[in-house]
Amino acid sequence: MPVRPAMKTLSILTLACCVQQALAAPAGEGPRCSGETPAQHSLALQPGKSTLLRLPEPVASRSIGNPAVAQAMLVAPDTLYLAGVDIGSTNMVVQGKSGKCSLIELVVGMDVAGLKGTLAELLPQEKNIRVTAAGDALVLSGTVDDGATLVQVLELAQAYVRRPVQPLAVARAAEEKGAQSAP
């Protein structure tokens, strides 16, 4: 019995799809790296900010562990555009055309340096303010000269964070309290 042309075409298309699926990597599998993977290096980002990462060779593939924390887009054969999305950390595997892979730790945190720079520029006389990050908050510690400066520091911090933490003390008020409690 002769095979109809439509059935023959369908059989060839089915065979082509099966071969293509067999050659494709499984959905959950990452890049197939060749050679040794160099030591992991770390890159710091802030939510809503980005940077360009130039690599030593053109990129064949990239994979980010948690795209809710950071995202990567290829903007040139050897350059990735990395954007911080939310507070946290994840890693990225980048495979070059040669098959070699790089492992990059992406840490997305609060913009501590940005707030420190703003405080130094706008309040240069206030030398005793420390800024650190704790998860999705900035921790301000130290002392300031007066209550008005404290309000100004907190307003500036608010621009950099979702929820500021306030263990700052007014220097004169702390000194007066100490003097009052002395015998």
List per-residue pLDDT tens for the chain, 183 residues long. Answer: 555 554 444 444 343 344 333 333 444 555 677 777 666 889 999 999 999 999 999 999 999 999 999 999 999 999 999 999 999 999 999 999 999 999 999 999 988 999 999 999 999 999 999 999 887 788 899 999 999 999 999 999 988 876 555 556 666 655 555 555 555
Confirm if 29 and 96 have CB atoms less than 8 A apart.
Answer: no
The C-alpha torsion from 49 through 54 and 55 to 60, rounded to 10°, is 70
Beta strands 79-84 and 70-76 are antiparallel
Q: Which domain holds residue 133?
A: 112-181
Task: Report pTM.
Answer: 0.62
What crossing angle do the helices spanning 147-158 and 112-122 adopt, rounded to 10°?
Answer: 140
Of 88, 108, 128, the domain-final residue: 108
62 and 92 inside one domain = yes
Of 66, 90, 108, the domain-final residue: 108
pLDDT attached to residue 81: 98
Report how far residue 32's alpha carbon sits from residue 21's, in angstroms, rounded to the nearest whole number: 17
Q: Looking at the domain assignment, is residue 9 inside a domain?
A: no
Q: Looking at the domain assignment, is residue 50 inside a domain?
A: yes
82 and 131 inside one domain = no
Q: Looking at the domain assignment, is residue 132 inside a domain?
A: yes
Of 53, 83, 108, the domain-final residue: 108
